[in-house]
Structure 1
Amino acid sequence: MLLLAFDTATPAVTAALYDGERVLAESTVIDARRHGELLVPAVDRVLSAAGRPLAEVTGIVVGVGPGPYTGLRVGLVTAASFGDVLGVPVHGVCTLDGLAWAAGEAGLDGPFTVATDARRKEVYWARYDGPRHRVTEPAVDRPAEIDPEVTALPAVGAGAALYPDVFTRHRPDPAHQSAGALAALAARRLADGEEFAPALPLYLRRPDAQVPAGYKAVLPK
């Protein structure tokens, strides 16, 4: 097994190579505006650091969100392209699940919440009973509108960090998505024979860019 994992659903452009037992190499850059520029060089770095050619990759793992439209589609299109060229499966994993797994690696267990920044004064969030067990579907809400029983739990992620008055038990680790954690979670799911989410974007809301309504059609003379 040699998994190439990456996620662009958050400001973290993160890529990693995982051999089924450990992370061989990982690269993470925090930049919310340059996903398209940074992802492929990150993949090149992890392959070079691990000393493994792209042709040896046996599967692609990609974060499917939730996340903003522009960044999220970079990772998914890149994953589909690699999967097609290499002839290997593409495994979609909820971005929040990757953060939950990383939280478990950092020592967090029991009920907790994962929240990422959704902009517009909102967060993407889900509740977990443990690092592998999500008990609610991913959602997007203003923090004050989330059930207080959820926000009172220990919380991880950049979304929780932005609203400490709501997520009063925020933990700083993990602060950002880790492709290494995403790959480790995918490897466990593969070993257990679990199904994966389709490698399709989980937006939860419409993109900011809209086709203008009521524009005038220009007719030839």
Structure 2
Amino acid sequence: MLLLALDTATPAVTAALHDGGSVVAESSRVDARRHGELLLPAVDEVLKQAGRTLADVTGIVVGVGPGPYTGLRVGLVTASTFASALGGVPVHGLCTLDGLAYASGLTEPFVVATDARRKEVYWARYDDFRTRVSEPSVDRPADIAEQVAGLPVVGAGALLYPEAFPDARGPEHQSAAALAARAAELVAAGGEFLDPRPLYLRRPDAQVPKNYKVVTPK
């Protein structure tokens, strides 16, 4: 087994390789505006670190979000393209929040919250680092502060809004290494994955204006 994991749903552009026993290479850069520029070099870097080629990959793992429209699509399209180039190897989708949860290692109830911009967070609740107990949502921190009171909060959202999430925990950013490790566990156990489709939770920022006036030549 050699899993290539990718995630671009957050400001972290991250890739990793997992051989079924452990993570053998990983690369992460935090840059919210350069997902398209950074992802392929990150993949090249982890393959070089591990002394492998793309042809050695037996499965792709990709974070499906939630995340902003443009960044999220970079990882999903890249995963699909790699899978096709490799003759149709499986593409396993995982919730991006699950990667952060897994990396936290927490064995108590907690929340993961990432930056959704517009003064909102993408978030979900967990019983432990492997077990999500709510569907991902997008809300203003003040609107959910009472629901999550007393719980540790993992991720950049906790650091951005300390008044709503006073018990902030690491990690701050997504790691494809954690996503790959969780995926390897699920593959070994015959667990279920998500379809590799984007989980947006809201409409993209760029939209066609309402009442758009069509101008025709006279």
Structure 1, 188-197 or 55-64: larger mean CA deviation? 188-197
Distance (whole Å) between structure 1 residues aligned to residue 215 and residue 80 of structure 2: 37
Distance (whole Å) between structure 2 residues aligned to residue 203 and residue 167 of structure 1: 23
Q: State the match for 2:5 in structure 1.
A: 5
Read off the aligned partner of 1:101 and give its amino acid letter.
Y
Q: State the match for 2:104 in structure 1.
A: 103
1:199 maps onto 2:196 in alignment: yes
Q: State the match for 2:138 in structure 1.
A: 140
Q: State the match for 1:117 in structure 2.
A: 115
Alignment partner of 2:125: what SS? strand
1:209 maps onto 2:206 in alignment: yes
Is the Cα contact below 8 Å between 1:113 and 1:151 reproduced in 2?
no
Read off the aligned partner of 2:92 and give its amino acid letter.
H
Q: State the match for 1:164 in structure 2.
A: 162
Q: State the match for 1:92 in structure 2.
A: 93
Q: State the match for 1:179 in structure 2.
A: 176
Compute the displacement of 1:220 (Å): 4.9
Give the alignment of 1:64-83 within 5 angstroms. Answer: 64-83=64-83
Q: State the match for 1:190 in structure 2.
A: 187
Distance (whole Å) between structure 2 residues aligned to residue 80 and residue 151 of structure 1: 39
Is the Cα contact below 8 Å between 1:90 and 1:199 reproduced in 2?
yes
Number of equivalences? 217
1:127 maps onto 2:125 in alignment: yes
Compute the displacement of 1:147 (Å): 5.1
After superposition, the C-alpha distances for 1:138-171 in whole angstroms (9 at most, x for unaligned) are: 0000011115241420111001111111111111
Is the Cα contact below 8 Å between 1:14 and 1:28 reproduced in 2?
yes
Distance (whole Å) between structure 1 residues aligned to residue 66 and residue 102 of structure 2: 16
TM-score of the aligned structures, taking structure 1 as reference length: 0.95
Read off the aligned partner of 2:190 and give its amino acid letter.
G
Is the Cα contact below 8 Å between 2:145 and 2:165 reproduced in 1?
no
Distance (whole Å) between structure 2 residues aligned to residue 216 and residue 148 of structure 1: 45
Distance (whole Å) between structure 1 residues aligned to residue 172 and residue 209 of structure 2: 37
Q: In percent, how many aligned pairs have the same letter?
A: 72
Distance (whole Å) between structure 2 residues aligned to residue 13 and residue 125 of structure 1: 19
RMSD: 1.1
- Show structure 2 runs of 5+ residues with no match: none
Structure 1, 36-45 or 209-218: larger mean CA deviation? 209-218
Alignment partner of 1:32: what SS? coil
TM-score of the aligned structures, taking structure 2 as reference length: 0.97
Read off the aligned partner of 1:202 and give its amino acid letter.
L
Give the alignment of 1:27-46 within 5 angstroms. Answer: 27-46=27-46
Distance (whole Å) between structure 1 residues aligned to residue 54 and residue 145 of structure 2: 45
